[in-house]
Amino acid sequence: IHFVLLISRQGKVRLTKWYSTYSKKERSKVLRELSGVILTRGPRLCNFVEWRGLKVVYKRYASLYFCMCMDPDGNELEILEIIHHYVEVLDRYFGSVCELDLIYNFHKAYYILDEILISGELQESSKRTVVRSVAAQDSLVEAAKEETGSTISNIIALAAK
Amino acid sequence: MSGPSLMDSLFQRTLEDLIKGLRQQLIGEQAFISKALEEIRKEIKSTDLSTKSTALLKLCYLSNLHFHDMSFAAFHALEVLSSPRFSHKKIAYHAISLSFHDSTPVLLLITNHLRKDLTSTNEFEVSLSLQCLSRIANVDLARDLTPEVFTLLSSNKLYVRKRAVAVVLRVFEKYPDSVRVCFKRLVENLENYDPQILSAVVGVFSELACKDPRSYLPLAPEFYKILVDSKSNWISIKVLKIFAKLAPLEPRLANRVVEPICDLMRKTGAKSLLFECVRTVVTSFSEYESAVRLAVGKIREFMVDEDPNLKYLGLHALSIVASKHLWVVSENKEVVIKSLSDPDPNIKIESLRLVMAMVSEHNVAEISKVLVNYALKSDPLFCNEILGSILSTCSRNVYEIIVDFDWYVSLLGEMSRIPHCQMGEEIENQLVDIGLRVKDVRLELVRVARDLLIDPALLGNSFLHRVLSAAAWVSGEYVEFSRNPLELMEALLQPRTSLLPPSIMAIYIQSAFKVLVFCLHTCFVRGGSTAGVSASASYESFDDLSVENGAGSTVAHGQTCTSAPITNESIVNLLKLVELALSPLLGSHDVEVQERARNLLGFVDLIKLEALNSSGQEENDSEQKGVEATKIIRLVHDAFSKELGPVSLSAQGKVPVPDGLTLNENLGDLETICSDIELPSSNTFSFGYPFEEKDVSSFSNLQIKEDSGQSNESTSLLAEHRKRHGLYYLPSGKSEVISNDYPPANDPALQGDNNDTASDLVKLTAESLVPKRKPNHSKPRPVVVKLDEADEKPVAVKHPESRDDSLSGAVRDILFGSEDILPTSSRSNLPSSNRKGKEKQHMITQVESKENVVGDGNSSSRRRKDHSHGKERRHRKKNAEERNETDRKEKESSSNHPRRQKSRQRAEEPLKVPPQTSVIPDFLL
């Protein structure tokens, strides 16, 4: 997989993840081209688009298009499965995920994606495991936050004196 | 001093605030973002790590979704990375993997952080750093961190181990020497029973095998085992990908694998796996008839499926098969043609490709007919897609598949009338090209051109202008085939031509000129009894000249004269028409149009003065004058009736530079040369003419000295024409100088030579099999085409060789025995490493022989049960061997570093290398 994109129906980008090297200019060009191609495609059409010699597999969930780009000899259906897998994990994690969840927790969407894919390869095919490990990391983060919270309140207490 | 930082951290906007603010957009997106960036810049310099990390996170957001540069924060990200807190680390790693690239200057500083985290006891920290490494690793990082990754490869935490496996891919890519260290452990992981690890390893191998499959042939047994045993579809897909690469390299392997794949294909319910099986079979196992049949059955199921995805994939798979088994496509013709009307453009294009793959000389007519019908019905985009593919398929290899050119030419005419047609340029090229190349079709060509020209509605369509210009050119050039030149003239000069762009206008005028000359010529010189003795004599001589045009044209002449008699009145009308139509153009702003109009009008003036007066009166009165006029007409006609043939791209290089012509001399010198050339005859045109000067001089000469002026003018017109259509001209008229190299396309005099070449003969015989007609299919540039191909081929061959990089070299080293299969592989290796490989072989074979005596029993315990008895013996032996290999590898890998040194030393000693020929085959199943 070369990159993963999440584009809203209005053409707004919600998430980008690049596994191959693209310069900044190329990235925005890719985004522009692809959103042009994909958003104009109607429903009930196939989910594959040939693009610059690569294949882009996309799928629409509610108002979000999930796109993944792969080599032409990759397996389209497999990628489709991966997309679905990702969405299901998101769904489990956020509890019926919606676009706003992804907007406000964009970093978490990334973390989950990282759990699923590493350097463009699927690494975890079990939803439960993914959710569990993300949750575990979250608890680590929370613990750290509480610590910070306490330090800040300490500081405030200090300052109040 | 803690004051500001404290305030900062207390009142800092969080990411959520940022996003909310951005969505509310009270002050406009850009303004808000730049304000936020301003804040971030300040916050990120804060000493408080939480503030810093929040700032970093916000920056990530902005850079990722709004494409703002975040390279300024690279160092700050590193600072956050050094935080002991997991949450900070996480943000930092996130930022780094998003923003760092090979040329980030602080990349060097990250090594230690990564090393620390890779050896951390917290598995999540390890995984974060691995994740990051998988994204940013460059040569240095890969080299420096290889030991850590190596240790992690055998970590007992699955979570870490599978990531380490995945990261290895990137490390290998960047730093091929790491293969020596890590490869054995990687292979060990192939034997792992945990599906996740297995999936990761197989994923790595499938990527590696894509780049250089040959190196991984020795691992085939392991992959085979996975293929047969695997229960996970993900893994099966990857393994199939590996086999798709390996199988073409080793036929015996293909023999073994094809059965399990077919089994899988029959059993599996997962469409993705099924499709992968199908694709593997059609790409790599196309010799196995039964497997292909099975796959084709599945493809058909795909194609008739409701799901557009499956339909698309079915068509896609079919197009892979098509290259090898055309029968499959024709078997599924109906489905393919039906999917041409699918709502999905991708499916349509795919099926169009398939349809084009089916085209042969027998069915081209009917397929094109079907397609043109589809084109009429479909949307503009796809319509042009269809037309484009028809055009390119039919013109492939100099119209290889076209037998009936009359049909094709009328198809071109039909296509250009399709409302959405935007392929004007291509049609133009082909019309002219066919006119030049295929002589027998000219009659039909002129008819088609006439139809196009006469229709005033077409002039309004700007896409068609190019086609019309071709039509005008054709009808001018081959006017002798026209049934009614007068009608043609009217078409060329109709008022709506003012809609045309000037360049095409110019072609119209030029063609009108040709038509006019032709009419006059038929009227006065040939058809009329007006011609005196001298005229008829000259007519004779002209006829001699026109023999070169071939017998067909003279027949056509006869026809035109009878079918549309050109009388004197009609000529008078014609001349009036010309004057009427062109006089406004004398003021045209376009130089070309103006000049040509002037040329033509000048000619008309000339003719009117002399010819019409004379022909209007009694012949004997002004015989002298009539002769004068006919002479002029004859000369001009002569000039126009020169046969034009296609010219090879490199033809100009073959034109010998005439003696005394120095190309670099002044233009003033050229002037004298030109005047020299003028004198002998108008027949020889040199390619190096200074056209512009000639034009001017000839134009002024025109009125004054008729004789040389005429030839001069025609020369200039031809030259001008040549300038416009230079591509289609032969290097120099009919002069025999270069004809040996490049025979003019349809020159009957040279046809004999032409036929001598073997390829032409083949072509002609092939065509003569078709009873209907024999298009004179000249191939003027076989040599050039072949030269080009020859130039390209070595490049293509070289390419894979050059990809034979150090990575695969290193892999082969590890997987020894590479020398026998791939002679090229050893080239890139160092001599020392080569010998190391040999040495290993040596050792292995020794161990193997021992093992064969002793250890047969214990290896069979792991042997798979469902093997046929015939193969059992061999398999067992192989298994034992394989065990040995891995055992050895374990030993070696555990003490790798010292060992490497030692083996290199030992490599200096003379070795007795056993015969290597049979080493590799033993590893195959």
Looking at residues A5-21, what average pLDDT do you find? 80
Cα torsion at B234, B237, B240, B245 (round to 10°)?
-110
Instruction: Give the pTM.
Output: 0.61
B351 CB-near residues (< 8 Å, 6+ apart): B315, B336, B337, B339, B340, B342
Q: What is the pLDDT of residue B915?
A: 38
Is A146 an interface residue toward B (CB < 8 Å)?
A: no
Q: Which sign does the torsion angle of CA B610, B615, B617, B618 carry? A: positive
Query: B831 is written with which tokens?
Result: 């001599």
Is A121 an interface residue toward B (CB < 8 Å)?
A: yes
Q: Which residues pair with A55 in a beta bridge?
A: A50, A70
The HSE-up count of residue A2 (CA atoms within 13 Å, CB side) is: 17
Residue contact B234–A27, C-beta within 8 A: no
Is A160 an interface residue toward B (CB < 8 Å)?
A: no
Q: How high does pLDDT run on average in chain B?
A: 64
Domain boundaries, chain B: 190-285, 502-527+567-616+623-641
Cα torsion at B315, B319, B324, B330 (round to 10°)?
60
Asked if residue B381 lies in contact with residue B392, where contact means CB atoms within 8 angstroms, the answer is no
Cα torsion at B406, B411, B417, B418 (round to 10°)?
180
- Other Cβ atoms less than 10 A from the Cβ of B341: the count is 13
Mark which residues 126-185 of B lie under 8 Å from A by CB: 130-131, 134-135, 159, 162-163, 166-167, 169-170
Rounded distance, CA A35 to CA A29, Å?
Answer: 10
C-alpha distances in Å from residue B590, one per residue of B468, B491, B509, B800: 19, 22, 13, 53
Instruction: Name the most confidently modeled range: B67-71, B122-126, B533-537.
Output: B122-126
- Other Cβ atoms less than 10 A from the Cβ of B106: the count is 14
Residue contact A148–B344, C-beta within 8 A: no
Rounded distance, CA B431 to CA B471, Å?
Answer: 8
Looking at residues B57-76, what average pLDDT do you find? 75
Residue contact B272–A121, C-beta within 8 A: no
Is A114 an interface residue toward B (CB < 8 Å)?
A: yes
Q: What is the pLDDT of residue B351?
A: 77
Q: What is the pLDDT of residue A129?
A: 72
pLDDT, tens digit, for every residue of B562-585?
344 556 677 777 777 777 777 777
Q: Closest chain B residue to A129 measured between Cα atoms?
A: B159
Mutate to test the interface with A, among B63, B237, B311 (most CBs of A within 10 A): B237
pLDDT, tens digit, for every residue of B414-448?
777 777 777 777 777 887 777 777 777 777 788 88
Asked if residue B818 lies in contact with residue B812, where contact means CB atoms within 8 angstroms, the answer is yes
Residue with tokens 């046929």: B868
Please give the DSSP secondary-structure letter assigned to residue B914: P
Rounded distance, CA A78 to CA A117, Å?
Answer: 13
Q: What is the pLDDT of residue B262?
A: 79
Query: A43 is written with which tokens?
Result: 């429903």
Rounded distance, CA A57 to CA A78, Å?
Answer: 10
Residue at B807: amino acid letter: L
Rounded distance, CA B203 to CA B105, Å?
Answer: 32
pLDDT, tens digit, for every residue of B659-671?
665 555 555 555 5
Rounded distance, CA B326 to CA B336, Å?
Answer: 13
Query: B657 is written with which tokens?
Result: 């530079």
pLDDT, tens digit, for every residue of A60-114?
887 888 888 888 777 778 888 888 888 888 888 777 777 777 777 777 788 888 8
Q: What is the pLDDT of residue B753?
A: 39
pLDDT band at residue A13 under the 50/70/90 scheme: confident
Rounded distance, CA B279 to CA B310, Å?
Answer: 13
Q: In this model, does residue B922 exceed pLDDT 80?
A: no
Separate counts of helices (H) and strands (E) for chain A = 5, 7
Asked if residue B303 lies in contact with residue B318, where contact means CB atoms within 8 angstroms, the answer is yes
Q: Closest chain A residue to B168 measured between Cα atoms?
A: A119
Residue contact A123–B88, C-beta within 8 A: no
Long-range CB contact pairs, B788-797, < 8 A, 24+: none
Helix (H) or strand (E) holding B241: helix B233-246
C-alpha distances in Å from residue B729, one per residue of B310, B642, B901: 51, 10, 71
A67 CB-near residues (< 8 Å, 6+ apart): A4, A5, A6, A7, A34, A38, A56, A57, A58
Residue contact A24–B69, C-beta within 8 A: yes
Residues of chain A with Cβ-Cβ distance to B234 below 8 Å are 78, 122, 125
B605 CB-near residues (< 8 Å, 6+ apart): none
Smallest Cα–Cα separation from B90: which of B52, B53, B55, B119? Answer: B53
Helix (H) or strand (E) holding A57: strand A54-61
**Helices B502-520 and B706-724, axial angle in degrees (round to 10):** 140
Q: What's the CATH code of the domain at A23? A: 3.30.450.60
C-alpha distances in Å from residue B351, one per residue of B313, B316, B332, B360, B422: 11, 8, 11, 16, 21
pLDDT band at residue B835 under the 50/70/90 scheme: very low
Asked if residue B775 lies in contact with residue B440, where contact means CB atoms within 8 angstroms, the answer is yes
Looking at residues B248-276, what average pLDDT do you find? 78
Of B23, B166, B309, the CB nearest to A123: B166
Asked if residue A1 lies in contact with residue B207, where contact means CB atoms within 8 angstroms, the answer is no
Residues of chain A with Cβ-Cβ distance to B309 below 8 Å are 46-48, 76-77, 80
Mark out the alpha helices in B45-122 (DSSP H runs). Answer: 49-66, 74-81, 86-99, 110-118
Q: How far is B802 from chain A (nearest CA, A)?
A: 21
Q: What is the pLDDT of residue B550?
A: 38
Residue contact A136–B124, C-beta within 8 A: yes
Q: What is the pLDDT of residue B92?
A: 81
Which has more pLDDT, B117 or B853? B117
Can you tell me whether residue B464 is helix, strand or coil?
A: helix
Asked if residue B161 lies in contact with residue B155, where contact means CB atoms within 8 angstroms, the answer is yes
Q: What is the pLDDT of residue B457?
A: 73
Please give the DSSP secondary-structure letter assigned to residue B611: I
Cβ contacts from A onto B, under 8 A: 146
Of A28, A140, A147, the CB nearest to B124: A140
φ/ψ of B556, rounded to 5, equals -60, -40
Looking at residues B479-503, what average pLDDT do you find? 76
Rounded CA Rg of chain A: 19
**Helices B74-81 and B49-66, axial angle in degrees (round to 10):** 130
Mark which residues 96-125 of B lie under 8 Å from A by CB: 101-102, 124
* CB burial of residue B18 (10 Å; 0-12, 13-18, 19+): buried
A68 CB-near residues (< 8 Å, 6+ apart): A1, A3, A4, A5, A56, A57, A58, A79, A82, A83
φ/ψ of A48, rounded to 5, equals -120, 140
Range of the domain at A117: 3-160
Q: How far is A138 from chain B (nearest CA, A)?
A: 8
Give the range among A107-111, B263-267, B341-345, B730-734 with minimum mean pLDDT: B730-734
Rounded distance, CA B476 to CA B626, Å?
Answer: 25
Q: What is the pLDDT of residue B2?
A: 40
Mark which residues 321-360 of B lie under 8 Å from A by CB: 343-347
Asked if residue A101 lies in contact with residue A71, where contact means CB atoms within 8 angstroms, the answer is no
> Taking the mean position of all CA atoms in its chain, how far away is CA B870?
49
Q: What is the pLDDT of residue B530?
A: 38
pLDDT, tens digit, for every residue of B865-897?
444 444 444 444 444 444 444 444 444 444 444
Residues of chain A with Cβ-Cβ distance to B19 below 8 Å are 103-104, 106
Q: In this model, does residue B240 exceed pLDDT 80?
A: yes
Q: What is the pLDDT of residue B681?
A: 40
Separate counts of helices (H) and strands (E) for chain B = 50, 0
Q: Closest chain B residue to A146 measured between Cα atoms?
A: B87
Residue contact A145–B87, C-beta within 8 A: yes
Residues of chain B with Cβ-Cβ distance to A104 below 8 Å are 15-16, 19
Q: In this model, does residue B130 exceed pLDDT 50?
A: yes
pLDDT, tens digit, for every residue of A119-134?
666 666 676 777 777 7
b/e per residue B142-173 (b: at least 16 CB within 10 A): bbbbbbbbbebbeeeeebbbbbbbbbbbbbbb
- Other Cβ atoms less than 10 A from the Cβ of A159: the count is 12
Is A35 an interface residue toward B (CB < 8 Å)?
A: no
Q: What is the pLDDT of residue B113?
A: 78
Give the max Cα distance, chain B: 123
Instruction: Name the most confidently modeled range: B104-113, B522-531, B745-754, B873-882.
Output: B104-113
The HSE-up count of residue B150 (CA atoms within 13 Å, CB side) is: 20
Q: How far is A57 from chain B (nearest CA, A)?
A: 10
pLDDT, tens digit, for every residue of B84-101?
777 777 788 888 877 777
- Other Cβ atoms less than 10 A from the Cβ of B664: the count is 5
Rounded distance, CA B876 to CA B884, Å?
Answer: 12
